[in-house]
Chain A
Amino acid sequence: MRFFQRMRRSSLPAIDKYALAPWIPIDDYRNRAASIWRRRIGMAVRFQAGRQRQRGRVDLLVKLESPLTDSTALALRYNALLQIRLGLQKFDVLVIDPSTPLQPTHLQALAQGVRL
């Protein structure tokens, strides 16, 4: 028993509860995030998931098909739903619509992200 306790202490890395669980593939997080959008919000969108960053968070760009005046409020709500379902502080969500002026972060996500 002591051997296992010692081994656990020495060999396993400390788990950051706010980071992604290392045993769950990043694609699972992305697909579950997309599924939560479809179930709970349901507006027609195009998803673009950014590459996993070093700190272990998922970037999601949600591109709405029609204009929306309060896309920030929608991004906040969606992020809250994701955190409730999948854990705190794991996602950075950007919601844009056709009228949003594209910032460098949006362009980067659109160019390099994985389409879901």
Chain B
Amino acid sequence: MTREHSNADIAARLSHLQRVVLKEYRYLSYTAEKLQQADPQFRWLDAIEQNAELTERLDAFVSRFCRLQDTLGDKLLPTYLRVQLEPIGSVLDNLNRAEKLGLIPSVADWIEARGLRNNLVHEYTEDMDVLRQSILRAMQLVPMLDAATQKLGGKAASACLAVS
């Protein structure tokens, strides 16, 4: 494989991932808004069995929250760093680098969002107060994912133009 081909491949992947994160954020934002409109304090979780429709919406929110974080942190960020000839290391190294470059607002918030995943699965989390607090925290972290999507997506789009 020649260097030109390799660069073109990376640019194509970066461009694809950039479009994906924008779509994923749009869907996440839609679901988050719908859930907030239904009940901003999530009191309906006390009667979760009687709220099948909201539970489905919650599942969609959790799935979209985790997927966007995966695509941003585990796919788009390493590809972008590679294009920028930045050193690529462990997840934590990449996140620290991203924070220094201003691509994500805070590593601590990012890691916290990663840690939320297990708590957000209502089938596993039997304590509804833990589930409620975790969802409320996830809702607070949606703007952080928005900021990362806009910043990283924008930078990725510019990098694609420069590479291709």
Q: Given A70-B133, A73-B137, A83-B115, are A88 and B92 neighbors across the interface (CB < 8 Å)? A: yes
Q: Given A76-B112, A79-B115, A80-B108, are A17 and B90 neighbors across the interface (CB < 8 Å)? A: yes
Query: Is the CB–CB distance between A72 and B112 below 8 Å?
Result: no
The answer to the question of B150 belonging to the interface, with a C-beta cut-off of 8 Å to chain A, is: no
The answer to the question of A113 belonging to the interface, with a C-beta cut-off of 8 Å to chain B, is: no
Query: Is the CB–CB distance between B92 and A72 below 8 Å?
Result: no
Q: List residues of chain A with CB within 8 A of the CB of B112.
A: 76-77, 79-80
CA distance A76 to B116 in the complex (A): 7
Query: Is the CB–CB distance between B108 and A76 below 8 Å?
Result: no
Q: How many A-B residue pairs have CB under 8 A?
A: 42
Query: Is the CB–CB distance between A80 and B115 below 8 Å?
Result: yes
CA distance A103 to B92 in the complex (A): 33
Closest beta carbon of chain A to B49's beta carbon, Å: 21
The answer to the question of B111 belonging to the interface, with a C-beta cut-off of 8 Å to chain A, is: yes
Query: Is the CB–CB distance between B115 and A72 below 8 Å?
Result: no
Residues 66-113 of B contacting A (Cβ, < 8 Å): 90-92, 107-109, 111-112
Closest beta carbon of chain B to A112's beta carbon, Å: 21
Chain A residue nearest in CB terms to B141: A76
Q: List residues of chain B with CB within 8 A of the CB of A71.
A: 133
Chain B residue nearest in CB terms to A92: B118
CA distance A61 to B108 in the complex (A): 21
- From A72, A73, A80, contact of B111 by CB (8 A): A80
Residues 72-116 of A contacting B (Cβ, < 8 Å): 72-73, 76-77, 79-81, 83-84, 87-88, 103
CA distance A84 to B111 in the complex (A): 8
CA distance A84 to B93 in the complex (A): 10
CA distance A79 to B111 in the complex (A): 8
Q: List residues of chain A with CB within 8 A of the CB of B116.
A: 76
Closest beta carbon of chain A to B147's beta carbon, Å: 17
Shortest 7 CB-CB contacts between residues of A and residues of B = A72-B133, A80-B111, A80-B112, A80-B108, A72-B130, A76-B112, A83-B111
